[in-house]
A and B are shown apart, each in its own frame.
Chain A
């Protein structure tokens, strides 16, 4: 019944692209070895790659350095023939081990996946107060004065073989400067102060970009 995944992804993806032809789609998945012995059968990477998705997205949560490679192997990454871009759309560190242990395993995620051609990573954390006990289950990037963030700086992908760059259409995401935008656009500052706009970035996305205002000034 494998082909029903592809049928589902292609049907739903086509619904989006009939409205927004340039839209990117993906179907995120996780490794089967994390739920071994249960009845859960996650989508397989190679099958999703055969569908119409534009890029691949895996969620990786192994919490031991030795488990990182096993998780990637379980995803089938080493035999993946697809040339579609692949990102780690979620990965995170549990709070239970020490910060040093968390940093070590998350750095392992970076290094190992980089070697397999990953080109993007999104950190997962829950520090919103919305999820009760799970709130304290995951270590925040900026907890302990940004300790985890600091640990990543030494192994960030830009220092490994997989240099990340954004498509031109998204360059503003990386360089937008809220303070400078409000300073250089007093009318937007007024709008934010009166509550007409939530932020300078909201104004830039809705109006400023089309009006030719720069979002990337220093």
Chain B
């Protein structure tokens, strides 16, 4: 909230997912984040800075965007990275 995030930089319509939603709902993006933090941790450990880095904030102010797909859709289904299929016509199933 401190300053505006450049959300457009996350934008992707790949796999029917747009905007910031892609970070959490596109499997490749999820694995990409995991790979990034793995590399970062290796660098921290390699530099002997284990005690210097207090903690890792995995995401700064995580959020979904209801105006971007698949959450903006009102029909069809969506298979998320956790393997579950969600009914986009169901408000309950879309709940984030």
- Chain A residues near B (Cβ < 8 Å): 1-5, 7-9, 11-16, 18-20, 22-30, 34-35, 39-43, 48, 53-55, 57, 59, 61, 89-90, 92, 124, 126, 131, 134, 138, 169-170, 205-206, 209-210
Distance A90 CA – B1 CA, assembled complex (angstroms): 9
Decide: B57 and A43 in contact? CB cutoff 8 A: no
Whether B51 pairs with A24 at a CB distance below 8 angstroms is no
Nearest residue (CB) in A for B68 is A39
**B-side interface size class:** 35 or more
Chain A neighbourhood of B38, CB < 8 A: 15-16, 18-19
Partner of A1, one of B56, B58, B93: B93
Q: Is the CB of A15 within 8 A of B51?
A: no
> How distant is the Cα of A24 from the Cα of B44 in the complex, in angstroms?
13
Q: Which B52-67 residues sit within 8 Å CB-CB of chain A?
A: 52-67
Q: Are A27 and B41 in contact (CB under 8 A)?
A: no
List the A residue with the shortest CB-CB distance to B33. Answer: A12
Q: Would B58 and A12 count as touching, CB distance under 8 A?
A: yes
Known A-B contacts: A7-B81, A9-B59, A15-B37. Give 6 more (CB < 8 A).
Answer: A1-B80, A8-B24, A28-B60, A41-B63, A59-B2, A126-B3
Q: Within the assembled complex, what's the spacing in Å between the Cα atoms of A89 and B59? A: 12
B55-89 toward A: CB 8 Å interface, digit per residue (1/0)?
11111111111111001100000101110101000
Taking a contact as CB atoms closer than 8 A, the residue among B61, B78, B81 that contacts A42 in the complex is: B61
